Structure 1
Amino acid sequence: MGLVNLKANEIIHKKGDTVETIEIVVKGKVCVTIDGESITVEVGGILGAAEHPGKKYAFTYTSMEESAVYSYPYSSQDDLYKVVSSNPKISPILAAQTIKIIVSSIDKYNDDYDKICAEIEQIKKDAQEYPVMAISVGQEVEHFPEIENVNPPEKVSALSEWQEKFYRTMASKEDLLKKYCYGLSADIANGMILYSIQALSFNAACRLELAEYYENMTKQVAKFKSTMQLVRAKANDMKRNGTEGQATDIDIKDALNTILQYADADEKATANFREIIKEFKATPGRYDSSDESRALRRKVAQDYYTIYTSAFLRSLSDPMVPSEVMMFLMFGFVDEELAGLENTRQLYVLMKTYKPDPEGLVMTCYEWLKKVYGMQREPSRNEFDEDYFTALRTLKTSGDISEAQMEEMKMDPLERLKFEVKNLLALGNRMSFGRPSMYVPVFDSENVVRPLDTAYVDYKKIHDFYDYIRSVDYSVFCRGGLYSNVEINVPQVLLNEDVTPIMILMPNMGSRAAVWQEIEGKKRNTPARLIISIFNTETLDDILIKLCGEFRWEMCKTEQGVHWNDVTDPSLTSMYCDYLQFYKKNHSLSTDMKEKLKTQLQKFNNNYKNVFVSDYISYIKFEANASPRLNKIAREILFTFCPFSKELREKMADNPQYGELIKKFTAHNAGLARPLTNIMKRLQNEGIEIPDELKTQYEFFKK
């Protein structure tokens, strides 16, 4: 009890809690809400005056800004008089605020009643249009007898006409009454407060009755409204597709209901998701660091993926998926108000003009999940670095599933999909978002920090970057392999196979990209799986150069296995680890260089991989443009294992930092190419066609 300081958007009392206290607002503003409808209480307002002590709160009380309330025990109606009479100095303010709250409550009741009547009128109108509209979109017409009995509620006035006029006039003369009436005596002000609280209680009861009616009515018409929503969405899509209107003509309404109706997921998950999005949308400080906001953001993700999975499965067999649903599957869009009008229009245009990558190497997460469900791709690894089959064996070993269940799940497309949604979609979405503590999976205008058309990542941008990175680090996506063919007497040839990774565009606006897995299973010639937000908030080239550095490191570790940091088996990772571990004893580094390296290690918490990635970025962006950034040792290791392309080497042949390195590389490369050249000459002389693998390797050496 006593003074309670509140942060913005902090809940004071929640609907359903037990009424034990009553508060006076002494600073800021408080929102009093029931079923999404609210009134504002300012300084001097009494919170909980319309509630019943010992019962459950009918309303939710939330601070709208930094506020403060003075709390008193509230065990009986007599406590109200004690609270009022114990504050004689501010009784005029309390009286004026109580009158103002009554008027706001009356206005809110009238507004709510009018909205309900308008909604019922729209339902009746929709019921007449529904059969024709359903047929027009190729949907079977259903019968909904329950909507025939839906009628407007009886309007109950808590106050008589003269009482309402009395309170409205009192509110309009607030300044005069505080000076010439309430200020004359605390007893006058207290009497007005207690008399007004009775009227407030009567009106609150009417609002609760109206809210109960609306809740029951909503349940009664829910099936029809959902069906009509989906039919209208498909009809609107047909209209949009049949016209050549501008983006400004796009008018998407009530998208959340369309998505939820289409998904037809578990009833509890659907209801929870609808309520949490409503609450999330109505919370202005939803991204602040308060415990309430953190909990709210976590709740948004609880049922999101259940809805996503259900909508995804239905879309597979639907030739006419509503635009709202496709925007949900591709971008995480759930609500036009949450996304903002202009962003909604942009998302619609991007969804409608989306073209898949002809090479199939860049795809939305929705397209990727279709490949996993269709058994065209194996599910990705989970957070414990287990692939799907290893994860199943772990479950079988722990006794969670039987041998028969494991065998059945191996080829079950639904189980594979669930595994991929739980791991790649849920975890990858959070990772690519870039701010884990602020993460929500739904598209929100508050996260839009760059214009969508600028931030949008499509397959052309990714392929353009691949061309660029290969023009600098030509072997970035290469991995080692072996070729042998005893029929033509080719015993064993080392290959460098260029395997372009798969880039999966995650449905969010984020700032990160990540190497999800560098190979598929144990096959080293399979493409890596990289993830990036479909809307990138950073400079795309910088993000992708960093990603290539991470891929270089992880791929080397995979190829080297347990010897990845063993300097007796030279590799990118082992040489870099040795360089960073023993830099203090390295006589090739000056004192200044050692100090810089020490600072760099501290910056990255002695994480050798992150130090390498930082150097790799400098190597690609600056060193390749003849702008030195690296020390001699780092430059030599990077050039040895990530050599520049032939064109760049020729340009840098006279560069004092790279001249000797290039000569050494050229000689080494010629030595590796010589046995292959001899084999190809022999095959030519014998009239045997040279295998494509050898031709490709020969072209690689020429680079």
Structure 2
Amino acid sequence: MGRLEQSMMTRRLEAGAVIYQEGATINEICIILTGSVKATGKYGENTIMAGNVLGVLDLGIGKYLYNYTANEETLICYFQLETLQDLGKVFAADKTYAGIIISSLAKQMISITGEFEKLKGLSEEISQFIRNEYEEYKQICKNYHKEPAQIKRIENLEEFEEDNAIVTADLDYFINLDLIPLELKKKFYSASEYVMMTEVKRFHENILEISDAYEPIIEYVNQVKHALFAKDEDNLFMRLAELAFMINESNGDISFVWSRIKNITTFVTKEKVIEQAVLPVLISHFKTKIKVGADLDDEQNDLTKQYTIEQIKGAKVLAKDSLATILEYSGISQDKADKFKQYLTVYNSLPDKSATTDEVDKLRKAITKIFYELYELIFFKAEETKMAEPVIDLFLNYGYVDEKFITESQLLQLFYLKQEQEVSEYPIYTMKEWLQEIYYGKAEPSKNEFDLDYQGMLREKKKTQHVSEAEEREYLKDQKGKVTFEIENMFRAANKITSGKVLTFCPILHKDFIIGTIDKLIQKKSDIIKAYEELQKIDFSLFYRTVLYHDSSKGIAKEYIEKKILPITILMPNVGSKSSMWQETSGLRKDTPARFVMPILSKEQAEDMLISVAGRYRWEICRNVQGVYWSDITEKSLTSEYYDYIQFYKKNRDLSPQAKEKLRNEITRVRNNYREVFVQDYIQWIRYESKGSSRLNKIARAILLTYCPFSKPIRTELSNFPAFSELLDRYETLQAAKIKKLENAYASIRRNGGTVTKELEDNLAFHNQ
């Protein structure tokens, strides 16, 4: 440790020089004075700019986390040390280093936490991917009247246990810490070595936790990878190849099998964390065994089987110079048009468009800013002129900007893919259609980040004297202003959320993010309707709300009935993986529809995306209705009972030690967000408990059965299950009493000369479900 007493030492490095190697024992840390450093390793890849520190976060593990390589000619100053305690000597050398160290740690933790979240997402994604591809393989076998081989690695594959990857690292904290100006951090942390060291220790606890959680996920991803492709026979690739050889021997068409192999290749090569050295070898061997003359890579052959030559030519002509067409149509300034072209050229050339470096992040933000300006200009012009090229619709509905950013096959699918237009009780809109609803006065804009709708925003401005009463009246009639409000407040945020890539979001449609074919990714309105219907076959009361009903002309003074209010669904123009419950009502009235948002292109099934949204909706609509009493246990409700259950679970004698430990882990995982605990339980309730598979403890099960009851057919099936029988008996008894009370009330209406209206009949039918 005495070595630290030497004066600060510097070292100049040429581009490409290795500074520290991943996994090597730490013997020094350094500050980048000039230049930049590329960090690569199992925790991802990022560029660390001048003014940042290398090695301090790594001290938490005791080994360097990355391979650190000079990106360009770089000058560093370094300190020889071996333990965290040695860091105090760096503080003593120059107190301002404390702020630099903390600032660097925040940036590095943002990158590592982001990579960890992506890896967690990949564990679920790769598992779902291989199951889907396995089903495709079985279907192809069926089509060719061949018995599919059983792949034991897939058959025995279990879902990833998220309990093995729980971390408490708070990404929001790191982001907010990073946002504090460096000069303020220097002043604050230079004031106390103890505070600085305590903060560093907290970062070290986080990195140790993430490091431990990384291992089971990597192990699981590798397990699935071996089921996907390996040199032995018990994997999907080999079974597909085996099938292709059999078809090829009989001079059959192997294009369907090849499409699945290409899909595997595309998926794997996109995910850098999947070790893929074996795959190119397998592909090469596969091609050599296929008969001579089978041009497997000729996409044009596949296209002519799906589209006529005229269709292919027509789409190419209409899509030619799409970006120029879009920019010209928008009328945006030449300066911004040139910048947008420049940004997109750089973006398209990036090998990793999800990189978390500062430069790539700035590029994505610059593209995003101009994209939404274009979107607003183009939408208004399209509505005012009623004339637009087909690529304009593709831009508004999918975020398409350039034919070079997608494959020819994807282009054709977009051109000739039509969303259904049939009338349905379910209000489902593309983003363009939703803005049209607002533009033509059929709907009001959504709430902004301060939970204010358009009228609420104007009222606030009037209070602060930013608008007069006369101006407020004018603004309330300004339909263009309402559309602008929706784009700026809902669209921008919801588009990012539904993409599932909050840290690396870019609104541009690009082939690097399209896994599979467009027709498999498109969220069709008919599929969304089916998903809603399937969900309500389980949770029949999901979209019903208690409202006051009266009709003096029919002799009905005051009755509470259950009214069905279906949500509005808006499809965001992106390739995404998440749905979101944007708001639980459309206005101040409790009987207005909720607003859900979904990506228009997604590998996820609509039903899977909607289950978690339904859980959040259940919670938020209850909070809305209950108001200030939402957590008051004396006012029985879904939220108050769940709040009480989670808050006092440690003292609950009806919970076993194992149940308490599981709940504790879940509360930690969602950072004490009670709503998210409920949402996770709701997902288990719909997916497993409805089938008799016990996943919840008896307290959670009792609350869910009370407020999210299963439909009658499911209740009948579950009545013989020990975990449900007593709860269901109690539920049926209470329901019978409610029904009897309603029947008596309606009989009284008839006796007094009134009429039992359809609304009352529907209410009785609801309680009989």
SS of equivalent residue, structure 1 residue 420: helix
Q: CA deviation at 1:317?
A: 3.8
Select between 329-338 and 483-492 the one with higher mean Cα deviation: 483-492
Among 366, 377, 384, the residue aligned to 1:299: 366
SS of equivalent residue, structure 2 residue 709: coil
Cα RMSD between the aligned structures? 2.7
SS of equivalent residue, structure 2 residue 601: strand
Given that residues 493 and 676 in structure 1 are in contact (C-alpha distance below 8 angstroms), is that contact kept between their aligned partners in structure 2? no
Select between 521-530 and 355-364 the one with higher mean Cα deviation: 355-364
Among 440, 453, 467, the residue aligned to 1:374: 440
Which residue identity does 2:747 align to in structure 1? K
Given that residues 334 and 442 in structure 1 are in contact (C-alpha distance below 8 angstroms), is that contact kept between their aligned partners in structure 2? yes
2:63 — aligned with what? none
1:394 — aligned with what? 460
TM-score (norm 1): 0.65
SS of equivalent residue, structure 1 residue 316: helix
- Cα gap change, 1:596/1:358 in structure 2, threshold over 3 Å: closer, same or farther? closer
- Cα gap change, 1:393/1:595 in structure 2, threshold over 3 Å: closer, same or farther? same
In structure 1, the gaps of 5 or more residues are: 9-22, 28-64, 73-241
2:325 — aligned with what? 258
SS of equivalent residue, structure 2 residue 445: coil
- Counterparts of 1:517-532 in structure 2, within 5 Å, are 517-532=583-598
- Counterparts of 1:75-224 in structure 2, within 5 Å, are none
Among 600, 607, 612, the residue aligned to 2:666: 600
1:502 — aligned with what? 568
1:413 — aligned with what? 479
Are 2:579 and 1:569 aligned?
Answer: no
Q: CA deviation at 1:669?
A: 1.5
Which residue identity does 2:392 align to in structure 1? V
1:639 — aligned with what? 705
1:331 — aligned with what? 398
Which whole-Å CA distance do the structure 1 matches of 2:655 and 2:735 have between them?
28
Are 2:552 and 1:486 aligned?
Answer: yes
Q: Deviations over 1:71-119 (max 9, x none)?
A: 89xxxxxxxxxxxxxxxxxxxxxxxxxxxxxxxxxxxxxxxxxxxxxxx
Which whole-Å CA distance do the structure 2 matches of 1:460 and 1:546 have between them?
20
Given that residues 323 and 401 in structure 2 are in contact (C-alpha distance below 8 angstroms), is that contact kept between their aligned partners in structure 1? yes
Which whole-Å CA distance do the structure 2 matches of 1:696 and 1:653 have between them?
26
- Cα gap change, 1:635/1:646 in structure 2, threshold over 3 Å: closer, same or farther? same
- Cα gap change, 1:390/1:353 in structure 2, threshold over 3 Å: closer, same or farther? closer
Q: Deviations over 1:369-391 (max 9, x none)?
A: 00001110011000111111111
2:601 — aligned with what? 535
Which whole-Å CA distance do the structure 1 matches of 2:386 and 2:595 have between them?
29
Q: CA deviation at 1:491?
A: 2.8
1:434 — aligned with what? 500
1:588 — aligned with what? 654
1:133 — aligned with what? none
- Cα gap change, 1:68/1:388 in structure 2, threshold over 3 Å: closer, same or farther? closer
Given that residues 490 and 679 in structure 1 are in contact (C-alpha distance below 8 angstroms), is that contact kept between their aligned partners in structure 2? no
Which residue identity does 1:335 align to in structure 2? D
- Cα gap change, 1:400/1:284 in structure 2, threshold over 3 Å: closer, same or farther? farther
Which whole-Å CA distance do the structure 2 matches of 1:248 and 1:592 have between them?
64
Q: CA deviation at 1:538?
A: 2.7
Select between 540-549 and 501-510 the one with higher mean Cα deviation: 540-549
- Cα gap change, 1:71/1:420 in structure 2, threshold over 3 Å: closer, same or farther? closer
Which residue identity does 1:385 align to in structure 2? D
Are 2:454 and 1:444 aligned?
Answer: no
Among 238, 263, 272, the residue aligned to 2:339: 272
Are 2:471 and 1:461 aligned?
Answer: no
SS of equivalent residue, structure 1 residue 476: coil
Q: CA deviation at 1:684?
A: 4.2
Given that residues 357 and 459 in structure 1 are in contact (C-alpha distance below 8 angstroms), is that contact kept between their aligned partners in structure 2? no
Q: CA deviation at 1:245?
A: 4.2
- Cα gap change, 1:69/1:372 in structure 2, threshold over 3 Å: closer, same or farther? closer
Which residue identity does 1:532 align to in structure 2? M
Given that residues 554 and 755 in structure 2 are in contact (C-alpha distance below 8 angstroms), is that contact kept between their aligned partners in structure 1? no
Which whole-Å CA distance do the structure 2 matches of 1:2 and 1:652 have between them?
72
- Cα gap change, 1:579/1:604 in structure 2, threshold over 3 Å: closer, same or farther? same
1:552 — aligned with what? 618
Which residue identity does 1:345 align to in structure 2? L
Q: CA deviation at 1:672?
A: 1.9
Q: CA deviation at 1:266?
A: 3.9
Which residue identity does 1:491 align to in structure 2? A
In structure 2, the gaps of 5 or more residues are: 1-10, 19-33, 39-67, 76-306
- Counterparts of 1:644-683 in structure 2, within 5 Å, are 644-683=710-749
- Cα gap change, 1:248/1:496 in structure 2, threshold over 3 Å: closer, same or farther? farther
Which residue identity does 2:13 align to in structure 1? L
Q: Deviations over 1:98-146 (max 9, x none)?
A: xxxxxxxxxxxxxxxxxxxxxxxxxxxxxxxxxxxxxxxxxxxxxxxxx
Which residue identity does 2:732 align to in structure 1? T
SS of equivalent residue, structure 2 residue 580: strand
- Cα gap change, 1:651/1:487 in structure 2, threshold over 3 Å: closer, same or farther? same
SS of equivalent residue, structure 2 residue 460: helix
SS of equivalent residue, structure 2 residue 723: coil
Q: CA deviation at 1:278?
A: 2.5
Q: Deviations over 1:414-457 (max 9, x none)?
A: 11010001012111101111111110111111111343222210
Q: CA deviation at 1:66?
A: 7.3
Select between 316-325 and 432-441 the one with higher mean Cα deviation: 316-325
SS of equivalent residue, structure 2 residue 562: strand
SS of equivalent residue, structure 2 residue 503: helix
SS of equivalent residue, structure 2 residue 547: strand
Q: Deviations over 1:549-607 (max 9, x none)?
A: 11101111101101111110011011001001101111111111111111111111121
Which whole-Å CA distance do the structure 2 matches of 1:358 and 1:255 have between them?
34
Which whole-Å CA distance do the structure 1 matches of 2:664 and 2:391 have between them?
52
Are 2:708 and 1:698 aligned?
Answer: no
- Cα gap change, 1:69/1:486 in structure 2, threshold over 3 Å: closer, same or farther? closer
Select between 380-389 and 517-526 the one with higher mean Cα deviation: 517-526
Which whole-Å CA distance do the structure 1 matches of 2:673 and 2:17 have between them?
38
Which whole-Å CA distance do the structure 1 matches of 2:377 and 2:621 have between them?
35
SS of equivalent residue, structure 1 residue 325: helix
Given that residues 286 and 296 in structure 1 are in contact (C-alpha distance below 8 angstroms), is that contact kept between their aligned partners in structure 2? no
Select between 242-251 and 377-386 the one with higher mean Cα deviation: 242-251
Which whole-Å CA distance do the structure 2 matches of 1:356 and 1:336 have between them?
30
1:151 — aligned with what? none
Given that residues 269 and 307 in structure 1 are in contact (C-alpha distance below 8 angstroms), is that contact kept between their aligned partners in structure 2? no
Among 372, 376, 383, the residue aligned to 1:316: 383
Select between 565-574 and 245-254 the one with higher mean Cα deviation: 245-254
Given that residues 357 and 363 in structure 1 are in contact (C-alpha distance below 8 angstroms), is that contact kept between their aligned partners in structure 2? no
